[in-house]
Amino acid sequence: MSDAGGRDEVDLARPIPILSRRSVLLGAVALGACSPRGAAEAPAKKAAASGGPDTIEGAVAGDWRLPADRARDAWRHPVESLKFWGLKPGQTVVEFWPGAGWYTDIVAPFLAATGGKLYAANLQADPADPVAAQAVDAYRRKLAANPRLYGQVEITAFGPTSGPVAPAGTADLVLFLRNLHNWMAAGIAEKAFRDAFAALKPGGVLGVEEHRANVGAVQDVLAADGYVQQAYVVKLAQEAGFQLAAASEINANPKDTKDHPFGVWTLPPVRRSSPRGQPDDPNFDHARFDAIGESDRMTLRFVKPSTTQP
């Protein structure tokens, strides 16, 4: 099973035009739980002697992060992205669908060391879907194995019928990290924005990183190729009550032509060579797609308006 795009995103390209919402979420669980060399289960190393990283740079440089994850910093720019979104010491943060924890391995230690709080709004488990429960349990065990490093991360849920992802009006920052296309496929994108809005304080920030479709294309509401129009994301956010504060080109990649045979998952790190659910094609030529690198991504900062005018 392929790595699902860096341990915080799941791979939901569909082999047929329409998939049931339940099937989409099941696919998310199965692929989100798969990380190279058992990454989700890898024990974290000790943090710095001070008890943890008190800067974003220190958290990104942490030796508890897997080498494969650190190698992708050149594409994901975590220091620049987190500073753009306004992560600060002592904040309350909500990370939606953290997967196996690519960003959790940065944000949780930083918040633990600075007196902050992380809510992980994980996959909404269904008793009839044991794979979902296993994925959430693996993430939970990873955090519990080193509470000094990660702190007391509170695991909540996000899904079709989930409740609040955090107590209403308590979060300083909510993060949507390359999962919006999955929620579009599952029919829960609007709910994601509503739930984020409810969790945030007035003046709180929603940070979005998402594969970016070419301007002017017709938006597929199911985002079958994994790409989403930036204008469409802004529209969804504004409909939920957010205001667009800023857009950044931190995670842009002008080499990405966005016309790949297996959608965004043709590119690294997934490097798909056949339709989802089929065996890898040993004759597939990855060279052209590897030369592109990882996808072109929008990086957006939205704000929940303050209740009082300045």
- The span from the CA of 176 to the CA of 97, in Å, is 8
Per-residue pLDDT, averaged over 79-105, amounts to 97
Q: Give me the CATH topology for the region 21-303.
A: Rossmann fold (3.40.50)
Token code pair at residue 25: 């979420």
Supply the pLDDT for residue 205: 98
H or E segment to which residue 207 belongs: strand 200-211
Q: Is 299 helix (H, G, I), strand (E, B) or coil?
A: strand
The pTM for the full model equals 0.87
Q: Which residues contact 121 (CB under 8 A, 6 or more apart)?
A: 94, 95, 96, 97, 98, 156, 157, 158, 162, 165, 166, 195
- Residues 266, 289: contact at Cβ < 8 Å? yes
- Residues 171, 93: contact at Cβ < 8 Å? yes
Query: Each residue of 4-59: pLDDT tens digit?
Result: 444 555 443 333 233 345 545 545 544 443 343 344 334 344 444 347 899 999 99
Nearest to 28 by CA among 112, 104, 97, 120: 97
Whether 230 shows a pLDDT value over 80: the answer reads yes
Least confident of 40-49, 173-182, 223-232, 298-307: 40-49
Least confident of 40-49, 190-199, 214-223, 235-244: 40-49
- The alpha carbon of 190 is separated from its chain's Cα centroid by a whole number of angstroms, namely 16
The full set of domain ranges for the chain reads 21-303
Q: Convert 196-222 to b/e letters by CB count within 10 Å (16 or more is b).
A: bbbbbbeebbbbbbbbbbeeeeeebeb
Query: Each residue of 163-193: pLDDT tens digit?
Result: 999 999 999 999 999 999 999 999 999 999 9
Total residue length of the chain:
310
Q: What confidence tier does 133 reach under pLDDT thresholds 50, 70, 90? A: confident
Mean predicted lDDT score pLDDT of the chain: 87
Least confident of 3-12, 191-200, 255-264, 269-278: 3-12
